[in-house]
Structure 1
């Protein structure tokens, strides 16, 4: 009996599925960075207020909306520019790596492993300060994708 889901097939599905998720995330980061470059801090604060205030009227204790509102009160143009540049560079770097991995260009795999390990290290550092469950989820996803990159690299090296 043929097994449909061989070990290699499962790795492939996870690898390409993970890359697709990371690509969507990277595109969103690039678009977010571009938007932050184009909008003024006052404009951003106004958008956040328009989103947060109606929600806070319904539930004044909403932690997410209170956090967003607090952010816009202390948001300088230099902070906004720093975040925009970070988002653009982080997103563009991920998109480039994902493109090369998708094309199965072998030299990209060790580079991707190193870059994703650095990203994970930075995310762990951020988690230690924020204790955010969202950051923990991102760390877990990135660690799973890093594992899949390693497994795919080992598999490709055996084939070639």
Structure 2
């Protein structure tokens, strides 16, 4: 199977496959970040979490003291009590484990995981929609999950594994001369 044709259909397919491959890789990275953040919430004292948050956003706040994201992070860290830290840590660990397992299965080349991935991503998306209603700061994650969910469904329906999509993306963007 060669590189996709330069025409509209081949280029569109290459863009969809590229979005799928990058989306899955980003979802894996997102899962790893959630695992680390969840573990940190479970093992670190609230004062340490606040100090780490202040250090993480200090440069951004020096540039723009009114930065919305940095100030939201600080407000959340300052208002974090032990119960909220445990609940948040467990939530992030669960989210992270589900995402990492799905991505690992996709990277392993299993097409059987696609329906499970669609189901798990649908549940995570529903949870994030609820969070969105309660906290508008989740918009980017909800949109990313919705796009990855749609792309995973698409790839499963056409019967292509992650490895097939990966090879097609590499061939499409870096054809042999």
- Shorter-chain TM-score: which interval? 0.7 to 0.9
The number of residues matched between the two structures is 154
Cα distance change, pair 44–110 in 1 and its aligned pair in 2 (3 A) = same
Moved more, 66-75 or 141-150: 66-75
Whether 1:29 aligns to 2:29 is: no
**Unmatched segments (≥5 aa) in structure 2:** 161-177
Cα distance change, pair 150–41 in 1 and its aligned pair in 2 (3 A) = same
The match for 1:117 is 122
Provide TM-score, normalisation by structure 2. 0.72
Considering Cα pairs closer than 8 Å and 6+ residues apart, tell me whether 1 or 2 has the greater RCO.
2
SS of match in other structure, 1:48: helix
The match for 2:22 is 17
TM-superposed deviation, 1:82: 1.2
Provide TM-score, normalisation by structure 1. 0.79
The match for 2:76 is 71
In structure 2, distance between residues paired with 1:55 and 1:15? 32
In structure 1, distance between residues paired with 2:78 and 2:18? 44
Cα distance change, pair 110–44 in 1 and its aligned pair in 2 (3 A) = same
TM-superposed deviation, 1:38: 2.4
Alignment of 1:76-95 (within 5 A): 76-95=81-100
The match for 2:157 is 154
Alignment of 1:119-158 (within 5 A): 119-132=124-137, 135-156=138-159
SS of match in other structure, 2:158: helix
